[in-house]
Amino acid sequence: MNADLMIAIDGPAASGKSTVAQILAEKLDYLYFDTGVMYRAVTLAALMRNVSIDDEPSVTKLTEHIAIDVIPPTKEDGRVYTVLLDGADVTWEIRSPEVNDFVSVVSMYAGVREAMTKRQREIGLRRRVVMVGRDIGTVVLHEADLKLFLDATVEERAKRRYEECLARGESVPYEEILTSMQSRDTLDSTRKLAPLVAADDAVKIDTTFMSIDEVVKIALRLLENGRTT
């Protein structure tokens, strides 16, 4: 079963995709790659440099001038990787409410997507990868061997994100998280380019009432049974 596969996991925020992907990657000894990090880093760079988020040409140009690196964790503070923006550790900054509010606008821009998709595809095509995002099964690795599309009700997903924030010692009101998530869902699903949608050949899993372990078991069973695309 462990035959140099490309595994694509897509879905909306807090659908469980990152945790499931991390566990799968560890079990298979594959690379775990979270593509959302890259869109978040571009958004943070624009905010830090006072580039207006609505200024598509300037935000797009920014992608040519910044270096985004994802490396193994450099600190033991709950992170599973370290994200560097021009060499600076921005692992937690890219999760800020401000980045959440603007990332779906930045990720609509064709030039930004083109640059990010190209890098993601290069990494994915080396195989032995579990890649997570919104358009991995439909665009980035459309030829992936296994495609999962995870979903859950927005209330359940907001609750999960709220609890994650609390665990990190941040207290963002639940209602605020819910509203921000709903608007991100709408922007991500209705954009023209690479919208958040399940690939025709993806296995769809509603995780609302499921534990992470149950989802991982389903994925492993699919791999064992050769239920790859």
Q: Which residue from 214, 213, 215, 181 is spatially nearest to 196, judged by alpha carbons?
A: 181
Q: Which residue from 97, 96, 211 is spatially nearest to 150, judged by alpha carbons?
A: 211
Stretch that binds ligand CDP, among 44-52, 101-109, 141-149, 209-217 (CB under 6 A): 101-109
Residue 32 has which token pair?
């775990």
Residue 224 has which token pair?
């064992």
Stretch that binds ligand CDP, among 20-28, 32-40, 55-63, 80-88 (CB under 6 A): 32-40
Stretch that binds ligand CDP, among 35-43, 50-58, 142-150, 205-213 (CB under 6 A): 35-43
Q: Is 102 in the site for ligand CDP (CB under 6 A)?
A: no
Alpha helices (runs of H) in the chain, residue ranges in sequence order: 17-28, 36-48, 56-65, 97-106, 110-124, 154-167, 174-190, 212-224
Of 63-82, which residues contact ligand CDP (CB under 6 A)? none
SS (H, E, C) 73-107: CCCCCCCCCEEEECCEECCCHHHCHHHHHHHHHHC
Q: Is 149 in the site for ligand CDP (CB under 6 A)?
A: no
Q: Which residue from 112, 111, 106, 110 is spatially nearest to 94, judged by alpha carbons?
A: 106
How many residues contact ligand CDP, by CB under 6 A? 13
Q: Which residue from 5, 59, 14, 67 is spatially nearest to 36, judged by alpha carbons?
A: 14
Report the residue from 104, 138, 180, 207 that binds ligand CDP according to the rule CB under 6 A: 104
Q: Is 147 in the site for ligand CDP (CB under 6 A)?
A: no
- Residue closer to ligand CDP (CB basis): 36 or 111: 36
Stretch that binds ligand CDP, among 73-81, 82-90, 103-111, 202-210 (CB under 6 A): 103-111
Q: Which residue from 183, 164, 200 is spatially nearest to 10, judged by alpha carbons?
A: 200
Cα–Cα distance measured from residue 35 to residue 108, given in angstroms and rounded to the nearest whole number: 14
Q: Is 13 in the site for ligand CDP (CB under 6 A)?
A: yes
Report the residue from 22, 35, 63, 180 that binds ligand CDP according to the rule CB under 6 A: 35
Q: Is 188 in the site for ligand CDP (CB under 6 A)?
A: yes
- Residue closer to ligand CDP (CB basis): 2 or 190: 190
* Residue whose C-beta lies closest to ligand CDP: 36
Q: Least distance to ligand CDP from the beta carbon of 102, Å?
A: 10
Q: What angle do CA 106, 77, 21 make, to 5 degrees?
A: 60
Residues that bind ligand CDP (CB under 6 A): 13, 35-36, 39-40, 103-104, 107, 133-135, 184, 188
